[in-house]
Amino acid sequence: MNSIRFNIPFVTGKETSNFETLISKAKFSGDGYYTKKSVEQLQKITDSKNILLTSSCTHALETAAISLDIQKGDEVIMPSFTFTSTANAFVLRGAKIVFVDVRPETMNVDEREIEKAVTRKTKAIIPMHYAGVACKMNEINAIAKANKLYVVEDAAQCVSSSYNDKHLGTLGDFGCFSFHDTKNIHCGEGGALLVNNEDFFSMSEVVREKGTNRTKFINGEVDKYSWIDVGSSYLLSEINAAFLSAQLDHLDSINSHRSNIWNKYFLGLKDLEQKEKIELPHIPEQCASNYHIFFIKVKDIEERSSLIDFLNKENIQTYFHYLPLHTSIAGKKFGSFNGQDVHTTKESERLLRLPLHMQMQGKDVEKVISMLTDFYKS
């Protein structure tokens, strides 16, 4: 019986020719031809001017944290329902993480809880846009402006998603993308930092280049480069950039295919939602999604475990997602939950992600829907 895998990283076919071009140019470290080309592609997609490719979204977040001079005693506010890198980037600088609850309809941070969590020690807000669907950025930016706080968007899942027609990652002081091979657009491992607050662009360049002004030297702005400030080696290699450029060339077709799968799921599972067996994802009116994840919500964690086992026996891979960070060993050590955990834990235990990738066909989606229907019939 053919299995339906949860994810298969997409290869466009153009990567090989890009590698051949790269070999002819004999420049394999970062900031070469394909880095520049990928940046230009991303600038066109996002309408963002200042973009730095990084070796991961984690390193993009770390660059933002260093650029903001996050220090011991500072507090940063973020959802507990997120990946560890969202928190680690700021913990590494000595910050205390203040976790807040999510909105159950999107699993995004609840901006009303952010406002309650602000103290005189708060320095930044880190909204994470889950599944390629935007947080309420107008309200979050208003809170930041009123309290003189910085906003760093964890837009790891969000290339080509938007909010009120503005690309995610461009709405805060910084935006961070992931090009890990679990993402819609990938290069195995990689990321990008969008520096929307130009006051921090020079510093971010320094941080990314091991604390030096080497980028200015390469651009002919200084006659030699030297150690300027703290930093690390966060450049994406040209090999990864060549792969990434091929992926970005196919962005429209990738979006179209994923949209078709997502909508087949949504329409095909509507009957189960109407029978109150499951809940389907919600995309608010002002949000345009890149269809990174299709998830359902079931009754509780016990039902989810039974459903995962049932689907596994039918050779269908499904996965839950983040365990709330505030319940983890490190979360308790480096942060605390502000307010009540009304939704984060409960909703995370109900959430189940279904297969969604470029090799999926209509018949695969139909099989998943059929098996979900059979499960709830029994």
pLDDT tens, residue by residue, 234-286: 999 999 999 999 999 999 999 999 999 999 999 999 999 999 999 999 999 99
Q: What pLDDT was estimated at residue 219?
A: 84
Which DSSP category does 77 fall into?
Answer: E
d(CA 32, CA 24): 13
Please state the length of the chain: 378
d(CA 77, CA 335): 10
Which architecture, in CATH terms, is 251-377? Answer: Alpha-Beta Complex (3.90)
pLDDT at 290 over 80: yes
For residue 193, the tally of other CB atoms under 10 A from its CB is 31
CA of residue 331 relative to chain centroid, distance = 20
Q: In 3-state terms, the chain is what percent helix, strand and coil (to 5)?
A: 40, 15, 40
d(CA 276, CA 278): 6
Domain ranges for the chain: 15-249, 251-377
| pLDDT > 70 fraction of the chain, expressed in percent and rounded | 100
Confidence of residue 360 (pLDDT cuts 50, 70, 90): very high
Indicate if the alpha-carbon torsion angle 7, 10, 16, 19 is positive or negative.
Answer: negative
Q: What pLDDT was estimated at residue 26?
A: 81
Give me the half-sphere count of Cα atoms (radius 13 Å) on the Cβ side of residue 51.
24
How does strand 191-195 pair with strand 51-54? antiparallel
For residue 212, the SS3 value is: strand
Tokens 């339906």 label which residue? 4
d(CA 77, CA 144): 11
Q: Looking at residues 188-192, what average pLDDT do you find?
A: 98
Which architecture, in CATH terms, is 15-249? Answer: 3-Layer(aba) Sandwich (3.40)
Write phi, then psi, for 33 (nearest 5 degrees): -55, -50
Write phi, then psi, for 153 (nearest 5 degrees): -80, 120
| Average pLDDT along the chain | 97
| pLDDT > 90 fraction of the chain, expressed in percent and rounded | 95
d(CA 43, CA 303): 44
Q: What pLDDT was estimated at residue 218?
A: 84
pLDDT at 154 over 90: yes
pLDDT tens, residue by residue, 329-350: 999 999 999 999 999 999 999 9
Tokens 């080309």 label which residue? 37
pLDDT at 1 over 70: no
Confidence of residue 151 (pLDDT cuts 50, 70, 90): very high
d(CA 280, CA 138): 25
